Amino acid sequence: MAEQVLTELRTTHAEATGLRSIATDFSSDRQAFRNVSWGKAMMWIFLLSDTFVFSCFLISYMTARMSTTVPWPNPSEVFALTIAGRSLPLILIAIMTFVLISSSGTMAMAVNFGYRRDRKKTAALMLVTALLGATFVGMQAFEWTKLIHEGVRPWGNPWGAAQFGSSFFMITGFHGTHVSIGVLFLLVIARKVWRGDYDHERRGFFTSRKGRYESVEIMGLYWHFVDLVWVFIFAFFYLW
Amino acid sequence: MAHSATHAQGQQHPIKLYLMVWAWLFILSACSYFVDYFQLQGLLRYSLIILFMLLKAGLIVAVFMHMAWERLSLVYAILVPISAVLVFVAIMVLESDYTLLSRIAFFGPGP
Other CB atoms within a 10 A radius of the CB of residue B91 amount to: 12
Do the beta carbons of residue A137 and residue A183 sit within 8 Å? yes
Of the residues A67, A87, A99, the best mutation for testing chain B's interface (the one with the most B CB atoms within 10 Å of its CB) is A67
Q: Where in chain A is the domain with CATH 1.20.120.80?
A: 37-239
Of the residues B27, B38, B47, B73, the best mutation for testing chain A's interface (the one with the most A CB atoms within 10 Å of its CB) is B73
pLDDT for residue B8: 44
pLDDT for residue B71: 86
pLDDT for residue B9: 56
pLDDT for residue B100: 93
Inter-chain contact B64–A104, Cβ cutoff 8 Å?
yes
pLDDT for residue B99: 93
**Better-predicted residue by pLDDT, B107 or B23:** B23
Burial class (CB in 10 A: 0-12, 13-18, 19+), A145: exposed
Q: In chain B, what are the domain boundaries?
A: 1-70, 71-111
Residue type, B42: G
DSSP string for residues in chain A: -HHHHHHHHHHHHHH--HHHHHHHHHTSSS-SSTT--HHHHHHHHHHHHHHHHHHHHHHHHHHHHHH-SSPPP-HHHHT-EEETTEEETTHHHHHHHHHHHHHHHHHHHHHHHHHTT-HHHHHHHHHHHHHHHHHHHHHHHHHHHHHHHTT-BTTB-SSS-THHHHHHHHHHHHHHHHHHHHHHHHHHHHHHHHHTTTTTTPBPTTT-PBP-THHHHHHHHHHHHHHHHHHHHIIIIII-
B95: pLDDT strictly greater than 70: yes
Task: Give B-chain residues touching A227 at CB under 8 angstroms.
Answer: 60, 64
Q: Which of A90, A44, A61, A45 is nearest to A172 (CA)?
A: A61
- Report residue A81: phi and psi, to 5°: -125, 145
The residues, any chain, with a CB within 8 Å of residue A187's CB and separated by 6 or more, are A127, A130
pLDDT for residue A5: 56
b vs e for A16-49, b when ≥16 Cβ sit within 10 Å of the residue's Cβ?
eeeeebbebbeeeeeebbbbbbebbbebbeebee
- The percentage of chain B sitting over the pLDDT mark of 90, rounded to a whole number, equals 59
Strand A86-88 with A81-83, pairing: antiparallel
Give this prediction's pTM.
0.88
pLDDT for residue B110: 57
Distances (CA, A) of A106 to A47, A73, A99, A113, A124: 20, 35, 11, 10, 10
CA atoms of A38 and A218, how far apart (whole Å) = 11
Do the beta carbons of residue A118 and residue B24 sit within 8 Å? no
pLDDT for residue B111: 58
pLDDT for residue B23: 94
CATH assignment of A37-239?
1.20.120.80
Low-confidence ranges of chain A (pLDDT < 50): none
Minimal Cα–Cα distance from A2 to chain B, Å?
A: 24
CA atoms of B54 and B13, how far apart (whole Å) = 23
CA atoms of A56 and A60, how far apart (whole Å) = 6
Picking from B8, B60, B73, the nearest residue to A21 by CB comes out as B73
Q: How confident is the model at residue B1 (pLDDT cuts 50, 70, 90)?
A: very low
